[in-house]
Each structure stands twice: as C-alpha cells, then as structure tokens.
Structure 1
Amino acid sequence: MRGSNYSTKMMVLATSMLKLSICTAWIMPRQTPPQRFEIDGFAQGTTYHIVYYGLAKTITNKQTDSLLKSLDRSVSLYLPGSLIRQFNESDKGISIDEPFRVLIRKALEINKATDGVVDVTVKSLVDAWGFGVKKAAAPPGDEKIKQILTNVGPEQIWLKGNFLHKKSKDVQIDLNGIAQGYSADLLAALLDQSGINDYVVEIGGELRIKGNKPGKEPFKIGIEAIDGTDMAPSPLRKVIAPGRGAVTTSGNYRKYLEANGKKISHIINPKTGYPAINEMISVTVWAEDGITADGYDNGFMVMGLKKTLRFLEKRTDIGAYIIYKKENGTVADTVTTGFKGYDID
C-alpha cells in the first residue's frame, strides 16, 4: 500500500509540474526580433551613415552630430578656431586635447613604421600642389618644393604632456589622412557603449564593422574596380565580409588635378615633395581599428606594390587588397594574408 500511495503522489506531482510548464510557456513573451535603425548626417566636409540592429533606437542624430562636431573643433582644417588651425597659426605650438593627442601619437608611430612616407607635417606641400583648403594657382616649382621641405618631417613637431611643439612658425600639419578613420572609431565606441553589437559605420568611405545582420547574415562591403586601362571607376571588383574591424581605401583615380595635360595625384610623397607616381591605383586596408587602417592606406600608395607587399607579408593584424597597373598597362589586383573577408565574392 505504501508503494501505491507513493506512486500516486508522484503522478500528482508530475501532473502539477506539467501544468506549470504549460502555463509558464503560455505566459512567456515571444522574443522580439532586432530592428534595423539608420542615422545619416554631415560632418568633416563629407557624409556619414550608420546602420545598426537592436530592440530599440538607442542612438540619435543629436548624439552622433555632437560627437563629430567635437572632433571638428579639435582637428578640422575647415573650421575657424579649431585647435589644429590654432597650431598652424602659432609660432611655437599650443596645448591640445585628447583626440588631437591620440591622432598625433598614432601618426608619429606610423611615420616611423613606414620610413617617413606618412607625415602629418605635409600640409604646406598639399597646399602648394592645390589640394588644400585654398587652391593654388599653379603647381609649385622645384625651388618652392625645396624650400617647403625644410619644414617637413617628424622632427619638426614633438609632444610634451599636453603641449604640441613646432620648430618654426612655417611648420604646418594636416590630419585629414587619418582623422576620418578615427571618427569611425569614435562612432563605433558610442555604439558599443550603448550595448549595440551589430552595426556598420561609414564616414567619407571609411568603415567600421561589428557583428551581423539578423539571421547571422554578414555585412558585405563592395570594393570599386577600375575598368581595363582606364582610370575611371567601373562596377564593383570585389565584395568582402570582414566580420569586424575597419576598412578604408585610398586611391588615385577620383581625387586629382590636371596640369599640362597630366593628372596629378593628391597623394604627396613627403620625402620628395612631389605627388606619388607608381603602379598603384588603389589600396583597401583592413585593420582592427579605423585610425590604423586610415593611417596606413595613403602610405601604401606612396610605398608602391613591392614595398607594401614586403611590409605586410607576415602581418595578420593589418592587410590590404591592392589594385595596380602592370608594365603592359593592364589592371591587376592582389591581396595580402591579413586582409579579412576576401573569400566572399
């Protein structure tokens, strides 16, 4: 009888648990799928676009605009009164803020790594060749370039505490070659801090990526091609899905000037003072962050194909997809080991 009574009690308990389980399942809310949110804006003389997925809109245009305007007040060459313009107009230098310091430190690090082909003191050369805020009437002559080069080089500036020093009043710096990648990093950090794990940030063509679309579909990025022997852009050459990190591109085919029937690249070699002329057409760089990718892409354009491939040969923390022109004039491409997402077409 004890056994029967025990079995009966167990059956009642099991039935009660089953009812509880059914009730619990019935009252459990269904999981809400993540929604797609977009933010568009204008900053740093270009546009920016953010796509992210989440359960609610947690980032607003006001936040992103405020963040980018704050950086502009630090390093924009176009904004009157910005810290970088104060520095360029000063005799010996000025005190700078944290974003400015981050960019200067990184720029000097990359300058050393690339044997000087990335140099923020290049502004006077950029202006002389007509690619600055004020457009030059004509390309500079040899003597003018020689004179400008006396104020170009990493030894012309040094950071001590919060004070950025300069050797002379004529030393001028330009952070445009690295600042947009850093801007993408700042926007990505804002999303991370808000608990957003799936997003794409784009500003002026520079990208930061994290996570996936719903259903684990990866974010895909198109790399523009060059058609045949022409320097005009054509349909996409490659579609990649890096999964995370930053992707930036530098190229000669969109931004150039014409003088005496020749196209002049906007990418200046700070060691010679002249526009870079080699087989490189474009370099798309992947790195863990935008400040690194953006900081190196122009440098690879100046270094040329062979030096860039040697530089990246054993690197997995940074990689490049390179479009270049062969000796016979045809267009080809190559990729290094550290370039993420290349296996998707």
Structure 2
Amino acid sequence: MKYLTLILVVFLVTTSCNQDKSKYIKNQGQAHGTFYHIIYESPNGVDYHDQLRSTMQRIDKSLSTYDPVSVISRINQNDSSVVLDDHFLNVYRRAEEIANETHGAFDITVAPLVNAWGFGYTEPQRTDSVSIATILEYVGYEKVHLINGNLNKDTAAIQLDASAIAKGYSVDQAAEKLEKKGVKNYMVEIGGEIRVKGQNPNGLAWRIGIDEPTEDQALMDRKIQRILHINKGALATSGNYRQFYEKNGQKYAHTINPKTGYPVQHRLLSASVLAPDCMTADAYATAFMVLGFHASMDIVEQHPELKAYFILSGEEEPFEVKYSEGMQSHLKD
C-alpha cells in the first residue's frame, strides 16, 4: 500500500543511558508502501514481529487501493460480491465521524480528486475548471451509506481512498496487539505516524521529534523543529512542503480540499495532532491541512482529547509556531 497523503517524517529521538536495554525488542521492515519501526519491552522476552507483520498485511488486504483485490479496491470496482471486513468497517465508521466533525474537510471519497491532481494511484488527469466541477459531482462522504453491513454509493463513479486514516489505524492495531500480549512500554511507528505507551529503553518518556518544514528531501539534511515528550498517546503529522509538484511555474500541494476540488493554499505548513489513538490523529492532521490554522484550532478547542502543534509560514520569520494549550505539557526543553 503506497500512502502519499502524509508527508512529514517524525523521528524517534533517544538518548544514551546506562539502563539495561536488553529487554527491549526492535522490529522494523516495510509495510503500506513505507517503513515501520517498533520498539517494545516484551514481558517474557518474546519477539512478536511475525504477528505484527501479519496484522499489517491483513490491513493491506482490506484498505490498500494498490491491491486490486483488496476490499476497498473491490468497492471502487463496484463488485457487488465484496464482503466488508472488520478493518474496513472500523476505518469507514471513524472516517465518517471525523468527516462530520470537520464539516467534510476530511472525506474518504476524495480519491477522484487526488488521482486527478497526480497524488493518487492513477496517472494525473485533466485539472481544468470544467473537469474539476465534473469530478466534484461524485465527491462527498454523504453520498456513501453503510446499510445493514453493505456499502451503498449514490453513483458508481464514487471512489474511496482511506490512505489518510488507514496508516494510523494500522499503528493502532499493532499497538493493541502488543497490549494484549501484556506489553506496557512500546513505540509503534509506521511512516512517521506514531503511538507510544510507558517508557523508552532509557526509562524516560518517549521523545518524538517534529520535522522543521523545508523542501529538502534528503533525510540527513532534515532538522527537528521541536521534540515532544509523550508517555501515552498517538501523534500524526501532515504537511504540504515536500509532497508537491510544479507546473508552468505554479506549485501544487498534495492536500486537496474536497469542497473546492483544488489543492489548498494557505499559511499552514504542517499540523501535528496528539490523540488517544493514531487513527484519529491521522485523520485530523489531514483535515487540519485542509482547514487551515484558525478553523483547526477551533475544532481542537471543542475536543479536549485532541492536542495540536502547528507550523505556519511566517510574515517576518521563516516559521511561526502555534499550539493548543494541552500541548504545552509535552514541550519540555
């Protein structure tokens, strides 16, 4: 599964310590078109990598638009024989809730627009005003209905894309798998989306770095803008400064507004969301990049379970940082 909607890399930051780290197991590999890193203190010294990898593979079989026989692909192909599995249902229901809460800024039916602008799973298409207006006729989460375990689309042209929420869901599934095994200290990271609990191998809160927003693609040249200290929760970051392309001198950001059909253009460069679960953090981070800073902060203030850290382009300085009141406790020097 290849995800293009989340573009920031969030780094795990560790420090040296004399504490014995032998109890912590490290797993890493590739899944969902990206890399994952999982660190956990196994109570019995058991390595759960095979089970975690199997979980990620099952999620791909449900939610990957790059797998032609996945559940979501068969829905997009209007295959009436498709059976919705628990993974799809869990993600779809949460996606619908967040779509309502963000007034459609997060929309799982955005696939035709993402594809048209060249950020999806097909080749770029026409993006003139007439073609965008046509596509918008079959974009809108309210045009899809879950009835008696079946998904009904108002028109066959509607296409779903769960990439802005499925990776966070996969992080949650891996984390919950570890918790069922009695693991109390862990960090699960897939493509920059993270969920942590307890302490890191140094006996401290997990330290997660947020990228400084620059267009440089080189990993070694990336700078960490701020470090968050987290004992429990999930962090997802979305932004526009690396995923874009230029055409006729115009930059086109990868975040598409489902209401207008066009890439967003505002001062918000990145949105990092801290939530109890990564599926929620993932979806809100994407929605906030559509909404911009002020509307996003309004939503955070209405949801005490959410905390947010925003980086905007500055008027005098290169960057301007804003964050919700709840984020303050995680910003230790």
Letter in 1 for 2:29: G
Show the counterpart of 2:167. 180
Structure 1 position 140 matched with structure 2 position 127: yes
Give the conservation status (yes or no) of the 8 Å contact 2:168–2:282.
yes
Structure 2 unpaired stretches of 5+ = 1-19
Instruction: Return the offset for 1:33.
Output: 7.7
Structure 1 position 275 matched with structure 2 position 289: no
Letter in 2 for 1:190: K
Equivalent in 293, 297, 308 of residue 305 of structure 1: 293
Equivalent in 203, 209, 215 of residue 196 of structure 2: 209
Show the counterpart of 1:5. none
Give the conservation status (yes or no) of the 8 Å contact 2:172–2:277.
yes
Show the counterpart of 1:247. 235
The change in CA–CA distance for 1:134 and 1:338 in structure 2 (over 3 A counts) is: same
Give the conservation status (yes or no) of the 8 Å contact 2:91–2:165.
yes
Cα distance in structure 2, aligned partners of 1:93 and 1:176: 23
Task: Kindly indicate whether structure 1 or structure 2 has the higher relative contact order, using CA contacts under 8 Å at least 6 residues apart.
Answer: 2
The change in CA–CA distance for 1:124 and 1:33 in structure 2 (over 3 A counts) is: closer
The change in CA–CA distance for 1:139 and 1:337 in structure 2 (over 3 A counts) is: farther
Show the counterpart of 1:12. none
- Size of the alignment, in residue pairs? 311
* Deviation digits for residues 30-63 of structure 1 (CA, Å, limit 9, x no counterpart): xx98612101121111111101123443233221
Cα distance in structure 2, aligned partners of 1:66 and 1:271: 37
Identity %: 36
Show the counterpart of 2:158. 171
Equivalent in 218, 222, 226 of residue 213 of structure 2: 226
- Per the alignment, in what secondary structure is the counterpart of residue 332 of structure 2? coil
Cα distance in structure 1, aligned partners of 2:258 and 2:234: 25
More moved, 212-221 vs 290-299 = 212-221
Pair member with larger Rg:
1
What is the TM-score of this pair, normalised by structure 1? 0.85
More moved, 87-96 vs 271-280 = 87-96
Show the counterpart of 2:138. 151
- Per the alignment, in what secondary structure is the counterpart of residue 120 of structure 1? coil
What is the TM-score of this pair, normalised by structure 2? 0.88
* Deviation digits for residues 218-237 of structure 1 (CA, Å, limit 9, x no counterpart): 1101111136xx77774111
Instruction: Return the offset for 1:95.
Output: 3.2
- Return the structure number with greater helix share: 1
Runs of 4+ in structure 1 off by over 4 angstroms are: 91-94, 230-234
Give the conservation status (yes or no) of the 8 Å contact 2:171–2:278.
yes
Show the counterpart of 1:57. 45
Cα distance in structure 2, aligned partners of 1:301 and 1:250: 7
Cα distance in structure 2, aligned partners of 1:93 and 1:310: 42
Show the counterpart of 1:194. 181
The change in CA–CA distance for 1:51 and 1:103 in structure 2 (over 3 A counts) is: same
Letter in 1 for 2:131: K
Show the counterpart of 2:277. 289
Instruction: Return the offset for 1:91.
Output: 6.6
More moved, 303-312 vs 43-52 = 303-312
